[in-house]
Amino acid sequence: MKLAFKTYLLFIALSVCSGMSFAQVKFEAKVSKKKLGINERLRIDFEMNKDGDNFNPPDFSAFSVVGGPNTSVSNSWFNGKRSYKKTYSYFLAPKKKGKFTIKQATIEIDDEIYKTFPITIEVTDAVNKPGGQDSASYIASEKIHLVAEVSKTNPYINEAITVVYKLYVALDTGVSNWTEKDNPRFNDFWSQNIEIKGFKAESGQYKGEDYRYVVLKKVVLYPQKSGKLDLEPYVLDVTVEVPSSRYDIFGNRIMTKVPQTVTAGAVSINAKPLPEAGKPADFKGAVGRFDFSVTTSKTSLNATESLQAKVEVSGKGNLKLFELPELNVPSSLEVYEPEYKDNVRTDLRGMRGSISNTYTIVPQYRGKYPVPSISFSYFDLDSKTYKRINSDELVIDVLEGPSNDPSIASNNADPAVSSPQKSTINVSDQFAFIKTSTKLKPKIAQDFFQSRLFWSLFLVPFLAIPIAIVFRRQKDIRDADVQGKKARKANKMVRKYLSVAKKELGQKETFYISLEKALHNYLKAKLYIETSDLSKERIAELLQQRQVKEEEIQNFKELLENCELARYTPSTEVAMKADYDKAAKTISLIDKQMR
């Protein structure tokens, strides 16, 4: 009996110890290696034996995260025991040589905070051929390439060039997914992305070897200034599948997935200025091959009727980047502001189509009015010379209506009409419209005292006193808030100057002055700064601190630069409209993102 009781106690003790052992929480960090070359990759796993919340990885400032976080969960039972493991995995690429410490990661499990131990990593010189786990990374780096194919590296200003980004992959290698890490910005270019419908793998060659490739991005660029212009690198994070030395039970080689960063690298374009020799005085920047015409909807009409005159340029070239010639008509014709239309499509060959200004003309007098010929000049890329096209001279014949010549009007006038008899109005009829008969009704007397109106007028002042006190306090608080008062005033100025800029579209100087004032007042309202004392870099730093995305910061800086450059360079109404729309959109996005 005693032996059985002791055995029972021993069983209970073992069960409790086993339960305590299982209940012990483990959270630790493991690395694939503690010493690696600068051209190798490091894998770090954060493992736990119980699920948790609010996982916070350490700062990987000395490394670039090229993959992850990847999450894996293992949950199994063996011999009646539960085994659980959850892992967060990162793939890191060192930025420079030296010794670096990966600090603690934290996680919350059962309302307790657990931390990993710091790990020291040594980064050495590049190795000739990475080994171990990173051998797959080395193979991947040799089997996948991102290439930027440029149609022309020495174009003229406003000549179209194309950049096609292709991802080349070796035949025995695969790609499971990719994400854009750095999307290039094409400063000093007018750019247009060409939509790609589906990614289709095609066969090709890379450095004489057979590869498959996928076109990821197509861009049409028009250089806006001469000299050396750099295209920023296009960088992708790619998961590459490379064959390993292991096989499955069916004899198929097992593929190893490796995170990899690939880049197309920087590309330089040497843009040539347009020749000065033979440049027409009325040249407005058109480059390509064009046709030009001036047409009217009709050539004969009566006075006060309207017709439309269209000034149109069609063909191939930088259609959206220059101004159309203005229509000149006699002063006797009333001309309204033109309506601008473009029917332009952009593909890998550049812009094609037509742009036009349609004027509405209303003649006031009869007669024949000549519309003089106007000219359009452009730089022809085929002959490398300037060419000029003159429109036909048109005549507008106004058939009926008053004459614009006073002598003709007096000679042709009808005496009966020119000397009309005065009409006579009887005195008795002068005031006939005034009604002299009235119908008066007696007013019923009513006591004002203690009426509804009496009590309303009596109580309203007493009710208004607390409202006035609250209003005054709020006003005092608002007046004391100097920063808030400045912000509200600046916000009001933003709306005012944006409205002025919209009205001044087409007037370059006043438009860009108003747009610049709107942007500066916006910074005053949101960042409480005087922008005249700050550089664009400082403005960008303050916006980053308020958690504004880099894309919106860059757009804001580009708008400020456009406002500055517009004082010294020509600008089209199309470009002004684009800058206005961009300003309104950027301010709206920054408002939503700012913290």
Do 250 and 198 lie in one domain? The reply is yes
> Would you give the distance in Å from CA 75 to the centre of its chain?
45
Do 116 and 160 lie in one domain? The reply is no
Is the CB of residue 167 less than 8 Å from the CB of residue 213? yes
How many other CB atoms are there within 10 angstroms of residue 310's CB atom?
17
pLDDT < 70: residue spans in the chain: 1-23, 67-68, 76-80, 128-135, 244-245, 247-251, 253, 405-450, 478-494, 528-535, 566-571, 595
Do 531 and 553 lie in one domain? The reply is yes
CATH number at residue 381: 2.60.40
> How many structural domains does the chain have?
4
pLDDT confidence of residue 431: 43
CATH number at residue 508: 1.20.120
Q: Which contiguous run of DSSP H or E holds residue 485? A: helix 482-503
| Residue 445 maps to a domain | no
- Give the residue from 378, 469, 417, 410 showing the smallest Cα distance to 158: 378
User: Which domain range does residue 497 map to?
Assistant: 482-593
- Give the start-end residues of each E strand in 232-329: 235-247, 253-263, 267-271, 287-296, 300-301, 307-317
| Residue 12 maps to a domain | no
Do 265 and 307 lie in one domain? The reply is no
Do 264 and 152 lie in one domain? The reply is yes
| Residue 9 maps to a domain | no
pLDDT in tens, 371-402: 999 999 999 999 999 999 999 899 999 988 78
Q: Give CA angle at 214 (172, 160), nearest 5°.
A: 150
pLDDT confidence of residue 413: 38
pLDDT confidence of residue 177: 76
Do 157 and 111 lie in one domain? The reply is no
pLDDT confidence of residue 18: 44
CA-to-CA distance for 576 and 560, rounded, in angstroms? 13
pLDDT confidence of residue 213: 93
One-letter amino acid for residue 51 of the chain: D
Do 144 and 103 lie in one domain? The reply is no
pLDDT confidence of residue 458: 75
Q: Give CA angle at 390 (388, 391), nearest 5°.
A: 145
Q: What are phi and psi of 353, to 5 degrees?
A: 135, -140
Do 508 and 535 lie in one domain? The reply is yes
Distances in Å between the Cα of 163 and the Cα atoms of 27, 169, 183, 188, 197 are: 49, 19, 13, 15, 17
CA-to-CA distance for 65 and 44, rounded, in angstroms? 11
Could you give the 3-state DSSP secondary structure of residue 12?
A: helix
pLDDT confidence of residue 195: 87
Do 157 and 263 lie in one domain? The reply is yes
pLDDT confidence of residue 110: 84
pLDDT confidence of residue 16: 44
